[in-house]
Amino acid sequence: WACAVAGCALVLGFAAWSGHGRVQAADGLLLLALFSAAASYVAGARVSLEIPPAQTVCWALLFMLPLTLPAALLQWPPTPVRAGAWAALGYVSLFSMWLGFFAWYRGLALGGVMRVSQVQLLQPFVALLAAVPLLGETLDAATVGFAAAAVGLVALGRRFSAAPAAAPRAPSPAWRPAEPDPEPGAMTR
């Protein structure tokens, strides 16, 4: 827990430092998204112990459709969107936000939520690192230092976990194929 809290504080500190200490409305929305994602990851990890991770993701997307579809329509851009932007949205939607979650929830189920979820602390720094070759961004020494500290905290947290991850439970009978009914008049236990 200490490593997770320290890692979270480190990421928040980096956000405050890189934003020059000014809080903006987007920061509040990002904080709400963070809490939403955290609650969703924990709930999804628990559910993925009962049903397969792929079903966990698909059911979550289906249940959220009544909220996400109207929100998307309200945010529809007033000007035409380029084909490349639609292709990028399709790629992120299909691979990152759908198929990627199959592996993510499987990993959470196998490794334990507390141990595996700390890897998320690296996401902002991996995104910044990827922006260097892809977008021509530059990295300063402070960003590299924050990233190195985050990697260190994640490694430390994984090394000093309180208990080994429990073996994943067998999936519940709710999604197993039903056994055929016994023959009429057959004796059952």
Domain borders along the chain are 2-69+89-166
Distances (CA, A) of 108 to 63, 104, 167, 168: 21, 6, 11, 10
What's 21's DSSP letter? T
Of 87, 76, 47, the closest CA to residue 63 belongs to 47
Amino acid 178: pLDDT:
43
Structure tokens at 86: 């639609």
Are the CB atoms for 176 and 33 separated by under 8 Å?
no
Give the residue ranges of the chain where pLDDT is below 50. 165, 174-178, 180-181, 189
Model pTM score: 0.55
Amino acid 168: pLDDT:
52
Amino acid 140: pLDDT:
85
CA angle 162, 167, 169 (to 5 degrees): 130
Please compute, for residue 114, the number of CA atoms within 13 A of its CA located in the half-sphere on the CB side.
Answer: 16
Amino acid 163: pLDDT:
54
Are the CB atoms for 94 and 61 separated by under 8 Å?
no
